Copies of this chain bind each other. A is one copy, B any other.
């Protein structure tokens, strides 16, 4: 009866150490222990961990996962808070995508100017180096 920490790990593709870490930071409740001091988990724990993992896979940082969890614990609350968190996360991702695209074009511009000579006249190193006087 009860799932071991290894069972939970397998079921959610989560490393055992990560589960203990989630417990330590209070994302997962401390489970009951068996006579031999093993953690014994319930289906509810499995659901909660699955929730965490799905949110993490979607890139939510742990603090936002924490908020989403506490929202999902209170079903009568309005949905607006969830919407707010998700929108904020989306804006964050959009900003990151923008940054990366800018980087990407800069790097690929640098690459096209690299003429396979020596470092002495490498345009990439030149770009990184000090401004010419």
- Which positions in A face B, CB cutoff 8 Å? 46-47, 50-51, 54-55, 58-59, 68, 71-72, 74-80, 82-83, 86-87, 89-90, 93-94, 96-97, 100-101, 103-104, 106-108, 110-111, 114-122, 124-125, 127-130
**Candidate in A103, A108, A121 with the most chain B CB atoms within 10 angstroms:** A103
Contact of A119 among B50, B74, B103 (CB under 8 A): B74
The 3 closest A-B pairs by CB, nearest first: A75-B120, A79-B122, A47-B130
User: Are A51 and B129 touching (Cβ within 8 A)?
Assistant: yes
Smallest beta-carbon distance A61→chain B, Å = 13
- What is the CA–CA distance of A89 and B79 in the complex, to the nearest angstrom? 40
Contact of A114 among B74, B83, B101, B128 (CB under 8 A): B83
Question: Could you say how many copies of this chain the assembly holds?
Answer: 2
User: Are B97 and A93 touching (Cβ within 8 A)?
Assistant: no
User: Are A127 and B80 touching (Cβ within 8 A)?
Assistant: no
A127 and B54 contact, Cβ closer than 8 Å, known pairs A74-B119, A90-B111 = yes
10 new A-B contacts, CB < 8 A, other than A47-B130, A82-B124, are A50-B129, A51-B129, A54-B128, A58-B106, A75-B120, A78-B119, A86-B111, A94-B104, A96-B100, A100-B100
